[in-house]
Amino acid sequence: MVSLNRFKYKLVALITVFFMTVCGTFTTAYASEGHEEKKGFNAKEVILGHVKDAHDWHILDVGDVHVTVPLPVIIYNPARGLSMFSSSNFHHGHSSFDGYRLVDAHYLASKHLTAAQYPEGSVIAVDGQDNPTGEKIYDWSITKNIAFLLFGSALLVFLMLQVAKAYRLRGHRQAPKGFQSLVEPVIIFMRDEVVRPNIPGAKGEKYTPFILTIFFFILINNLLGLVPGSANVTGNIAVTAALALISFIAMMAATNRHFWAHIFNPPVPGGVKIILAPVELIGVFTKPISLMIRLFANILAGHIIILSIISLVFIFGSLSKVAGYGFLPITIAFNIVMMLLELLVAFIQAFIFANLTAVFIGQAMEHQGDHH
């Protein structure tokens, strides 16, 4: 009975989160441009607006009121020095501040510029007439993705410290309780089924905290990305590139002379070595690239599919209100399935990234005679 009640609570919570997502997208879809009813629904603009990074955290719009959390803008200009101010001074891209401007589609159109010259969402230096000066600036702003990245990191540290505190208070001889009982099987599984089989011996114990950190960090940010109004952190290729770079550094730190001997002198006939050696060397660098693209593509694709299905309501609604309301039940059904699938993908992608990192580190520790 207790398990059934917990299942009901989780199901209600999941449906609530889904409807919050639909409602949040519904309000921002028509209000994000201010006059969307007249111009028509632009699905591409709405979808990209939800998955892109931004200098503020836009939650939703209520009529003409924008519910937005401004974030710090930190600009370094070699000619003018360091400037720090709130992104609210840009007024959602409608005005410049302190000689800087947030580029958006309206600004590009008004100045007859292209996104290739000045990408949308970037900050540029402007003169008194709001024209680009072409000055070289360095944008160190706390964007939405960075803010959620810091939040996810802080959440990871907090949760793990709570688990460590529970072990200190209860000891390892007592059965785990609460959040500790949820995390302990995951830790044991990752240690016994991922780290130890791929990184044997004492070195496996050494790399266990690293692999667990990668797994939980990606998992937490994947789950946070499913919360309505949150940032698409692991769907940003810059974030996955940084994670892949960290894994690559760990792989290179684990290499030895036998590993490099296998790369430059593979155990094949002499004539084939000339062809196989460059391929093996390229493979060293393609491994982290595959980690980067796999995580980025899977998370981003899931978000785009969910938003695309929701957008169908507005596309049909722009043709006929009856068609829009008629398609709404289908959209809800599809998106409940997609949200459940994305929940599964969040765990799978975190596991795959951590597992492959362990595999690559284990391969880098190749000993003499190992040619697998």
pLDDT of residue 6: 52
Is-contact 53 231, C-beta < 8 A?
yes
Q: For 161-206, how does the pLDDT look when each residue is reduced to its tens digit (9 = 90+)?
A: 988 888 888 776 777 777 888 888 999 999 999 999 998 888 888 9
Mean pLDDT over 246-252 rounds to 93
Q: DSSP H helical segments within the chain, as ranges? A: 2-31, 36-39, 43-51, 105-110, 144-170, 179-189, 196-198, 202-224, 237-253, 257-264, 270-319, 321-364
Residue 206 neighbours by CB under 8 Å, 6+ apart: none
Task: Give the C-alpha separation, 343 to 346, whole Å.
Answer: 5
Please calculate the CA angle 309-312-313 and round it to the nearest 5 degrees. Answer: 110
What is the reported pTM?
Answer: 0.80
Q: Which two structure tokens, joined as six digits, stand for 176?
A: 């785990």
Task: Give the C-alpha separation, 36 to 42, whole Å.
Answer: 8
pLDDT of residue 115: 82
pLDDT of residue 172: 67
Mean pLDDT over 345-359 rounds to 95
Query: Cα dihedral sign for 92, 96, 100, 106?
Result: positive
Which has more pLDDT, 217 or 269?
A: 217
- Residue found by looking up tokens 């000045």 in the block: 118
Q: Could you give the maximum distance between any two Cα atoms of the chain, in Å?
A: 73
Is pLDDT of 2 > 50?
no
Over the Cα atoms of the chain, what is R_g? 25
Task: Give the C-alpha separation, 132 to 117, whole Å.
Answer: 10
Domain ranges in the chain are: 72-139, 144-364
The mean pLDDT value of the chain amounts to 81
Q: For 105-154, how does the pLDDT look when each residue is reduced to its tens digit (9 = 90+)?
A: 888 888 888 888 888 888 989 888 888 888 889 999 999 999 999 999 99
Q: Which two structure tokens, joined as six digits, stand for 52?
A: 């892109």
pLDDT of residue 36: 38
Q: For 17-56, how does the pLDDT look when each residue is reduced to its tens digit (9 = 90+)?
A: 444 444 444 444 444 444 434 455 676 777 777 778 888 8
Task: Give the C-alpha separation, 367 to 257, whole Å.
Answer: 9
